[in-house]
């Protein structure tokens, strides 16, 4: 396998930039993601001006960011989502917004979407607003609150309690906020201080998506000897936490070379050297979207990798831990919990031979297991789920000669 694969733009950067552009009142965004989540985010931001019913479908980022945006803009109406979205908790974000003066209620089940907004703009008490939020929840709650902070009359101090997960996504949010003119800095006792003053219009070019790049790392790792791939529009210094895939995959047989002038990366297959990954469990707290991909590669290579920091996977598009376990068993492997919060890849008789992989309406399940086509014939149920984040995924695979039945 060899060639160049086009990546989608970062969905995480795109959705944040769209919201900040709207709060800033302008700015030109280029290389926006074509993922359904980003298309949906852009559409709902526009529709909010003319309708009282918005549907975030199955997009967690959209649901959480729009909740904060609609609260701060005084929108009146109902924000709903798909059946799975109605099972994903949102109470911590809603309670934070209510503490800032938002009038939000639950249209169905307490603590879950749909949400009804009464059309009252936030009215925090005089001075700087302060909220305490658990750090081990989804970083999307924290990012949503941070992004509206500059629009509050006295700004916002957000105190994060307990263990902080997905910190790179919080850092990405803060970096983009600063790009759009906000002042936000780390304070004492795990706090973030956001000054009042709003945003100013700014242009921004979105980077390629490192989460999407992980599937190409997996393909190179599992492909025949000598395989290589080039991925454009990835930067040596990235705001995306998932850029750590380059270090993880080094131990699983893939080397990363950054091309001159920010042209992207070139991936080549190198001898497997997993020893550095096996000294202790690898913690995915800051990069949960990589867990499925790495688990599948480790299982295929027979590497008994231990994985930690998977707690947030239980409340994604599906229960991703249960989904990984179920699909690995079809292939002669498993990922049992061997200690509290610690999962181990156990590969006894791993074989790829016409299995059908269930995707559980989860785009990352489809793309994490697809690289196994390098090891034998494989079918993926409901392949269209990739539209959520990487609509051209199957097309790009076909361009380099990888076709699933």
Q: Residues 53-77: pLDDT tens digits?
A: 999 999 999 999 999 999 999 999 9
Residue length of the chain: 405
How far apart, in Å, do the first and last CA atoms of the chain sit?
18
| pLDDT (0 to 100) of residue 158 | 94
Instruction: List pLDDT tens digits, range 208-238.
Output: 999 999 999 999 999 999 899 999 999 999 9
Token couple for 148: 């509206």
Is pLDDT above 80 for 283? yes
| pLDDT (0 to 100) of residue 151 | 95
CA atoms within 13 A of residue 104's CA, in its CB half-sphere: 34
Is pLDDT above 80 for 125? no
Contacts 24+ apart (CB under 8 A), 28-31: 28/203, 28/204, 29/203, 29/204, 29/205, 29/206, 30/203, 30/204, 30/205, 30/206, 31/205, 31/206, 31/207, 31/233
Chosen CATH of 11-205 out of 3.40.190.290, 3.40.190.10, 3.65.10.10, 3.40.50.720:
3.65.10.10
Q: List the domain boundaries for the chain.
A: 11-205, 210-399
| 82-86, 166-170, 248-252, 312-316: least confidently modelled range | 312-316
Catalytically active residues are: 289
3-state secondary structure at position 12: helix
H/E stretch holding 4 reads: none
What DSSP string runs through 348-370?
A: SS---SSEEE--TT-HHHHHHHG
Rounded Cα distance between 256 and 261, Å, is: 16
Matching fold, domains 11-205 and 210-399? yes
Is pLDDT above 80 for 124? no
| pLDDT (0 to 100) of residue 296 | 98
**CATH class label, 210-399:** alpha beta
Helix axes 139-148, 11-24, angle to 10 degrees: 20
Token couple for 36: 């359904």
Rounded Cα distance between 54 and 295, Å, is: 36
β-pairing verdict for 129-134 and 156-161: parallel
Cis-peptide, bond into residue 114, ω within 30° of zero? yes
């Amino acid at each position: 396998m060899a060639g160049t694969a086009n990546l989608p733009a970062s969905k995480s950067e795109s959705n944040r930039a769209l919201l900040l552009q709207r709060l800033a009142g302008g700015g030109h965004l280029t290389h926006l993601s074509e993922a359904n989540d980003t298309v949906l985010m852009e559409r709902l931001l526009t529709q909010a001006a003319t309708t009282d019913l918005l549907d975030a479908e199955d997009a967690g980022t959209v649901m959480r960011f729009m909740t904060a945006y609609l609260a701060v803009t005084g929108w009146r109406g109902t924000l709903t989502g798909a059946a799975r979205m109605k099972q994903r908790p949102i109470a911590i974000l809603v309670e934070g917004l209510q503490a800032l003066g938002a009038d939000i209620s639950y249209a169905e089940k307490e603590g879950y979407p749909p949400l009804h907004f009464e059309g009252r703009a936030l009215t925090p008490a005089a001075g700087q607003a302060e909220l305490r939020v658990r750090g081990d929840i989804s970083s999307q709650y924290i990012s949503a609150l941070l992004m509206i902070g500059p629009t509050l009359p006295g700004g916002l101090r957000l105190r994060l309690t307990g263990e902080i997960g997905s910190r790179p996504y919080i850092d990405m949010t803060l970096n983009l906020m600063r790009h759009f003119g906000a002042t936000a800095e780390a304070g004492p006792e795990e706090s973030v201080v956001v000054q009042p003053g709003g945003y100013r219009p700014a242009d921004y070019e979105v980077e390629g998506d490192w989460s999407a790049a992980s599937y190409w790392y997996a393909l190179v790792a599992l492909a025949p000897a000598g395989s290589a791939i080039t991925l454009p529009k990835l930067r040596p210094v990235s705001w995306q936490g998932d850029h750590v895939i380059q270090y993880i995959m080094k131990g699983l047989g893939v080397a990363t070379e950054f091309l001159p002038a920010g042209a992207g990366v070139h991936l080549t297959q190198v001898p497997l050297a997993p020893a550095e990954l096996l000294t202790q469990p690898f913690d995915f707290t800051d990069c949960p979207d990589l867990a499925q991909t790495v688990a599948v590669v480790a299982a295929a290579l027979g590497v008994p990798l231990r994985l930690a920091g998977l707690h947030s996977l239980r409340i994604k598009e599906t229960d991703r831990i249960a989904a990984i376990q179920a699909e690995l068993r079809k292939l002669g492997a498993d990922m049992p919990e061997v200690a509290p919060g610690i999962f181990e890849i156990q590969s006894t008789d791993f074989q790829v031979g016409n299995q059908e992989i269930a995707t559980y309406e989860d785009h990352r399940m489809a793309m994490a297991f697809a690289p196994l086509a390098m090891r034998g014939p494989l079918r993926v149920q409901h392949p269209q789920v990739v539209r959520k984040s990487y609509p051209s995924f199957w097309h790009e695979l076909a361009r380099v000669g990888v076709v699933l039945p």
